[in-house]
Amino acid sequence: MESRNKIKEWGLNVSFQTGNEIYCHCPFHADKGASLCINSKKPIWYCQSCERGGHLDKLEKLLAKEGIVDYEPVEEHRKKYPLAKMEIEDFEALRMATNCQYLVKRGFNNDSVRAWEIRRSTVFAVLPLKNKNNIVDGLILRAMMKDYEPRYQAKHFKKKDRLFGKQTSHNGNRMVVLVEGPLDAVKIWQHMNSLNMLGDFAGVYAAMGSSMSNKQIELLSKVSNDILILMDNEDSGRVATQKCAKSLLGFNLFVPRPDLYASEDPGAMKVEEFGNIISDPLPYLKARIEGILER
């Protein structure tokens, strides 16, 4: 109710509403697409175009700076971001995240958004997790604001019991690419699609963490025995690679050659870089013997 009252009080130009998300024309720039999204139940907002957002108090402060409203500071405890409480039916009411500036700037195209059915909430890109019957029974929320913590939230499932991803081929002798984050999985799928190589892989999956549970290992074993572990390209990513590999003893494991992997993480990778990496993966055992993962 506070958000609705504030919108009315500030005289913002409301364009439409989907679920709890009220879309307005952003007053801070020329906005034809109603980029400013305000949650009607929680005091948070985010602009898809200028990528500003936070507590409603911050929006009021910015409006005051522009001379649009008067501003009265509130107690500091009211500025904390509330945790998301999103139900499956809330997801169904959200708009598809096509032309979402956050995803566009991160290099995702609308084909990927549609294929993975990514929706957008006030401050989250929302990815559905489907069961074996292709029914959404879990949600993954990725904050689009840099200062929003936690960046990822899992709703209606336990991460240790599931894998996020897609099986791209049911033919045998195909490799799985295993990444850490859900959006990394989407980006790798996009590169496979761009290279017309979806059928050359068994799938792409996100561990949603730096280690694998027994349930996740069981799920992965049903897809392939050959796995390319593609974690972040820094010290913590190399530690995560070793933790995953330790969990996956018995699989044929590969890692990217360091001279071919220049990006900071799979989500920042260009399609050409991915093509080079998968054309010549390095056996994990050789990487350990040569000390490559410790560099």
Rounded CA-CA distance 128/133 in Å is 13
What sign results for the dihedral spanned by CA atoms 12, 15, 21, 25? negative
Q: Please identify, in words, the CATH class of the domain defined by 2-79.
A: alpha beta
Fold of 88-159: DNA primase DNAg catalytic core, N-terminal domain (3.90.980)
Q: Where are the domains of the chain?
A: 2-79, 88-159, 161-294
Question: What would the pLDDT profile of 221-278 be if each residue is shown by its tens digit?
Answer: 999 999 999 999 998 898 899 999 999 989 999 999 999 999 999 999 999 999 999 9
Res 71: pLDDT: 43
Question: 29 or 37, which is more confident?
Answer: 37
Q: Please identify, in words, the CATH class of the domain defined by 161-294.
A: alpha beta
**What residue has token string 């708009």?**
95
164-167 vs 175-179, strand pairing mode? unpaired
Task: Tell me the mean pLDDT in the region 42-51.
Answer: 85
Q: Given this chain, do its domains 2-79 and 161-294 carry the same CATH topology? A: no
Question: What would the pLDDT profile of 134-155 be if each residue is shown by its tens digit?
Answer: 999 999 999 998 778 888 999 9
Go through 101-115 and write b for each residue having 16 or more CB atoms within 10 A of its CB, e for each that does not: bbbeeeebeeebbee
Q: How close are the terminal C-alpha atoms of the chain, in Å?
A: 54
**What residue has token string 């509330």?**
82
Confidence of residue 78 (pLDDT cuts 50, 70, 90): very low
Task: For the chain, give the percent of residues with pLDDT over 70.
Answer: 93
